[in-house]
Structure 1
Amino acid sequence: MEIGQLEQLLRARFAGFFPEHTPPLEEHPAQLAEVPAAAPPPTTWPALVERGALVLPTRRAAGGLGLGQPAAVLIAELMGAAAFPAGAYLDTLLGLDLLDRCRPSAERTRLLREVLDGRHRIAVGFRDGSADRAPDTLPGWTDLARDGDLLRFAARFPAVVSADEADTLLLVGAGVGGVLPLAAGDPAVLLEPRSVLGQRRLFDVDVYGAAVPWSALLEFTAEPAAVWREVLGRARLRQAAHLVGLAGGALDAAVGYARNRRQFGKPLGHFQSISFRLAAATARVEAARLLVRDAAARSERGEPTATAAARALAFAADLGRAVTAEALHVHGAFGMTLQSGAQRYFRSAATESVWLGVVPELRKLVPA
């Protein structure tokens, strides 16, 4: 399917859904530093799954409809444009990518089927540092040993998105050639809520003295580091698309405000100092959109993803911060109040831009 046709399909399916399910402005980030943050309404996730947000981009071999990475980046962009909290969705796609690269087994098949159906929630533990560090290498374990038919381990996974809503934690780390699924309600699991990071509800996951059957390990089909590079690259493309969406949504809000707000008897947008800045921002957003979509299409054709994804995310991260800041400036002092959507886009872009690696580290992954 051509990207234009796919975009029309997805806009018809999701463009009205995301604004409808985005939290009201007065419930958004400023007063939201409480720990833990309130979970979204319980109907939001089932409705999102029912519309096909998970099954559409997932490969047919894994139980999806096979529209692939182009569909995933378009959905992520639409989420960003509406300032919809996308963290749980993006990390679920990361988890599905990991499961898709594991050897066939009854447990893998069950998890894939139930997650795609919306009957099962997963959260992914893949960090061993703070959320603003590049997760380019798999984290280590505090303790890891095989004891007969059991695998015993202890570890700390910071900044796991929506861990309290998950049925299963998917844990990845160095020295284990696959994914360790662990029931979120296991007595060995302790969740510690963190302050809200942008729109992500984060929990530190501490695992003490866990024991799972060795047969429960979902083994990767290739060398773990190579699998992780590929999966992380795909996640970075979706993150880049989300940032493009945030920038585009902020720009639309700024254009609307400049069209309606009057100064000295005429709309604010009639002043060249404003209109030229908005035009420049529009060109940058469109350039980033094309870069991300091209990288997604190349990834779907089987071309290497890691370098292109790092380039796209670095570009989109810079863009997201710059354009949302520009939109905030156009709104003036009103833009910093909770009645304005400009502060929501700005706040979200500032935090989402570091989620899968800060720009200087991402640029090191791109050949000069």
Structure 2
Amino acid sequence: MNDNLEESVQSALDDIIRNDYKTPPEIEITQGSQEGDGYASKTYAISIKGDNGKNTDLFVKYLPEDIKSWEEALIQAFNTEYKFYTEIYPTFDEFQKTKNVQEPFDNVPKHFNTKMKKDQVPPIVLEDLRSSGYTLRDRRKPIDDAHLNLSIKAFARYHAINYALKDQHPEKYKKLTIGVDDVFGKYFKQFGMGDMMKGCVSQLIEYLDPVADKNIIKHLENLGEKLIDYLTKIFRDYDEYFVIAQGDCWSNNMMFLYNDQNDLPIDVKLIDWQCQRISSPLLDFSYFFYTLATKKELDNAEYFLTLYYNTLSERIAELGSNPEIVYPYKIFREHWRKYSLFGLCMALGIIKAQLFEKDEVPNLLNSDSEEKPMDVFNAVLKNQDIYVERMRNLAEYFIDNDLLSY
């Protein structure tokens, strides 16, 4: 056993080697993520090189065995992601293959099934996408249309499988939803999300111009309390159009493959499925879009909404269901009005996370800290001016579209 590995990771590694390699391979273990790439897990990058030329590059996410801080929530989150890779996605993929769809949803890394002891929290053992050329987009840079279009289409195709499978195989789909526990919705107050939102709103007001931004400030008064009340209500929502949403759609949960010139993205992989929930797909869209959009994208929001729904409806039809029955355009627009505000809730903290410099990145797994995980997002950033401008533009968009009062 490698003394540097957690026992659960070693067990998974031993299982892979036992199944795939006849002689002991060479193993190299390095840090899985760079500072700022991920905030709520520990990782390894493991390279396995056999004497027969067979090489396997793994990316392993795990919970430390001695973790104490937020243990229950993090274990639930890992179990949720494990279910996605072992049950949900394989069922989705098998279904879409029977339909012979063009450009199937394959925007997830390959998962390696491994046998675990009953008392072990299974690590998430994935292909290391970096070995195939995938990289994280620089989270501090503004998004562009090429990245937005590619990602929106991927989300739409994922949601479409949900609707078609739910329509054609309702019992099978219902079984998949069992155990999909909304960790974020369950623990958002305990995480300190409410205090974080109130703190960020108050801080934003302090940095706005009392004259030029008078109207925005007026709408922001007591917004923190309103957002807490809003989240409390929507996390209790349920209607017939809800699906298994991805749940954690911020930019660092996506890796991109670029063309030979390394300037245009040609593929995207969604790499974190720990916060899946049964919800409207518009929670995913709102989270993704409103935490990334600058003023240019906000001014063209209708284009991106149309791109999402057209891609969704086309894929639902390609999978053999009627989009106007399983997710009508009228319901889509109603969900947009109702669930867009979730994007603003997330943007208050996520945009800060995108703008963190390396020395500002928090350690959310610090078991010795008495702080709640979200407390770190109340700090004033080195890039505070960019944060304020992004939030000002977002607030104006929500005010102009009457999306604050739902």
Fold match (TM-score > 0.5): no
The alignment's TM-score, normalised by the length of structure 2, stands at 0.29
